[in-house]
């Protein structure tokens, strides 16, 4: 139960910190942090939580990561569902807190997107569904390779949180214009439930593509890292 609570709080922080930076600070008049700032915010949430709860739950914060770690032989199947539930609930609660904060400003509208992920007309750069699928699959695949590699017992000890956080930052720098960057079904679900409408209609992609990418990443890492039998 402590591990599940850790995943709840960790995912809460990721969504509040990452999506909060996008909703509250990205385009703030004159001193907005922009796409670079939002990318750093997502990376920093992972770094801080990896050091904060990594020793309790492993700091997955992401259903695709949990599934990828299971596929990579690093996580028990019996814990998958409770972890995913904790992550999604944490994301939804964080989105609720963010809504309470953001709606305190005059002129706030959920229709502006609320940091939701999307494709087509709801992509920041108007990228197609195919482009969104490819982007989410490839980005999540690379994320899992970095996660599995940096937490391998042969890797330098103590640096995994930095490598993983910087990798997530890089992923956002690349892909925010395409999908607003998901690579995390829980993060996508939390804000989409508040926006409703198109965000919920397109949510399927941000579950299917990251999970597919995570499985590919686990397969790729096991192929290159495990000794030949």
103 in a structural domain: yes
- Count of structural domains within the chain: 1
- Report if residue 105 sits inside a domain: yes
CATH label of the domain that carries residue 70: 1.20.1080.10
Close Cβ partners of 33 (under 8 Å, ≥ 6 residues apart): 21, 25, 26, 40, 41
Host domain of residue 118: 2-224
Does a structural domain hold residue 29?
A: yes
pLDDT tens across the length of the chain (229 residues): 899 999 999 999 999 999 999 998 887 666 678 889 999 999 999 999 999 999 999 899 999 999 999 999 999 999 999 999 999 999 999 999 999 999 898 888 887 779 999 999 999 999 999 999 999 999 999 999 999 999 998 888 889 999 999 999 999 999 999 999 999 999 999 999 999 889 999 999 999 999 999 999 999 999 998 775 4
CA distance 195 to 109: 9
Complete DSSP assignment for 78-124: GGHHHHHHHHHHHHHHHHHHHHHHHTTSTT--GGG-TT----GGGST
pTM, rounded to two decimals: 0.92
Task: Please report whether residue 229 resides in a domain.
Answer: no
Question: Does residue 76 lie in a domain region?
Answer: yes
């Amino acid at each position: 139960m402590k591990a599940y609570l850790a995943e709840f709080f960790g995912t809460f922080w990721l969504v509040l910190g990452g999506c909060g930076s996008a909703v509250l600070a990205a385009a703030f008049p004159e001193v907005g942090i922009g796409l670079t700032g939002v990318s750093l915010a997502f990376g920093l949430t992972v770094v801080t939580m990896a050091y904060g709860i990594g020793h309790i739950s492993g700091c997955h914060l992401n259903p695709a990561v949990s599934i990828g770690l299971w596929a990579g032989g690093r996580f028990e199947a019996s814990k998958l569902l409770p972890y995913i539930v904790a992550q999604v609930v944490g994301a939804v609660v964080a989105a609720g807190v963010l809504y309470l904060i953001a709606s305190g400003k005059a002129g706030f509208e959920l229709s502006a997107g609320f940091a939701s992920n999307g494709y087509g007309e709801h992509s920041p750069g108007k990228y197609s569904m195919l482009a969104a699928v490819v982007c989410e699959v490839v980005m999540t695949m690379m994320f899992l390779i970095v996660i599995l590699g940096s937490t391998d017992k042969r890797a330098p000890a103590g640096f995994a949180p930095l490598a993983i956080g910087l990798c997530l930052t890089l992923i956002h720098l690349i892909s925010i214009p395409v999908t607003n960057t998901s690579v995390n079904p829980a993060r996508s679900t939390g804000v989409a439930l508040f926006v409703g409408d198109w965000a919920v209609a397109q949510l399927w992609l941000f579950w299917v593509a990251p999970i597919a990418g995570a499985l590919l990443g686990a397969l790729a890492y096991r192929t290159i890292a495990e000794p030949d039998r």
